Amino acid sequence: MHFFHFSPAVTSFTSPVAFPPLAQSTVYSAFPQTGQTYGLPPFGAMWPGIKTETGLPEAPSGGQPGFLSFSTAYTSTQPGQLHYSYPSQGKLQPLPVSQDDALSLSGAALPTSVALPVAAREQDEVGRRNSVGKAKGKGKKTDNSPPTDSDLERIFLWDLDETIIIFHSLLTGSYAQKFGKDPATVLNLGLQMEELIFELADTHLFFNDLEECDQVHVEDVASDDNGQDLSNYNFLADGFNGPSGGGASGASTGVQGGVEWMRKLAFRYRRLKEIYNSYKGNVGGLLSPIKRELLLRLQSEIENVTDTWLSTALKSLLLIQSRGKCMNVLVTTTQLVPALAKVLLYGLGDVFPIENIYSATKIGKESCFERIVSRFGKKVTYVVIGDGRDEEFAAKQHNMPFWRISTHGDLVSLHQALELEFL
């Protein structure tokens, strides 16, 4: 009798089949990058009136105390996870944001249950962007970009090669080796694209003049520009020949670093910016019909051989861009002019405004990140996405989360994490 007395209690406590599914462990097995505790809250938590977290699966990170704050109990308990890391100490500490603060960021004190229509949100966003002043923080250089800071919440700092696009590894053979592709085919595609990149850079983007006068940002020499009308300016006959511009002609061209020489340098960067903005959505307009056909073929074949790598990365870029309170910024080790040529030829001009492109060739990624933090301020949360040690180290130095891109799966997981608003 005692046996039958206890049996129902045991059965009712331990045997229901509904218990195992509650763990939902398999949901996160496809998210190796979101399983590690880090200091970012789900993005939707910072969107009052847009989306609440009640409709989402619970974020797998434990002990996230509040909006934009680090968990004091955070420890890097998963040394085997190499996809991203979040150091517990560093110079940059995003500030806690209360619900009231979050509401003020949205531009109106809406109840959390109220959602603005998409068109209204976009109109509201444009209005606020146009009314906001310049960035807080004192940067060494002024980046003349659209007003930003007060309404931005997250900035994603992207590497270019082997993160968004596949280019350098086509030339070295490492992509073919890693993913089992035909080395000769892959190398040939890389060489053809390289030729297009430097042809565009030399022919239209002043790379012959600017190769030895490389800048971190397109506005770095803008202070030397006197605003002269360049409509009929003859760049071929102004005597500027890169760093040796003052050679035989003496005072007529000015010595390197002199006022006249710097002004001519600034003219080139101004025209470079105009060309980028004019053709960022139609780079074919800068190419001959034959080169245009070649570019279309190369884009298609590279997408095919890389198993739609760029298209997969674009999904995340466009999702971030659509949020309104987020921004994509490019930080590449390529020199600025060839980097701009790459961005245009790979069809990324509409994703990255020229003001949001930085070259780390001269100063390194850590210093680039420092400039970006100076431009946008420390209340913004930064997320670094890349494949290399340079950006990973720079992210750690600034206490920014780092998302490693090594395979297609990493790009897919990134997009899923963004969709679920874990990032």
Q: Catalytic pick from 143, 161, 225, 410?
A: 161
Q: Was 151 annotated as part of a binding site?
A: no
- Active site residue: 143, 159, 209, 410, which one? 159
Does the annotation mark 159 as catalytic?
yes
Give me 295's structure tokens: 């570019």
Does the annotation place 387 within a ligand binding site?
A: yes
- Distance in angstroms (rounded) separating the CA atoms of residues 7 and 288: 83
101 is in an annotated binding site: no
| Residue 237: count of CB within 10 angstroms of its CB | 7
* Per-position b or e across 167-191, b if 16+ CB within 10 A of its CB: bbbbeeeebbeebebeeeebbebbe
The tokens for 120 are 């209204």
Q: What is the CA radius of gyration of the chain?
A: 25
**33, 414 contact by CB (below 8 A):** yes
Q: What is the DSSP string of 152-186?
A: --EEEEE--BTTTB--HHHHHSHHHHHHT--HHHH
The token duo for 183 is 């080395």
CA distance 194 to 205: 15
Q: List the catalytic residues.
A: 159, 161
- Per the annotation, binding residues for Mg(2+) are 159, 161, 387
Please enumerate, by residue number, every residue annotated as part of a binding site: 159, 161, 387
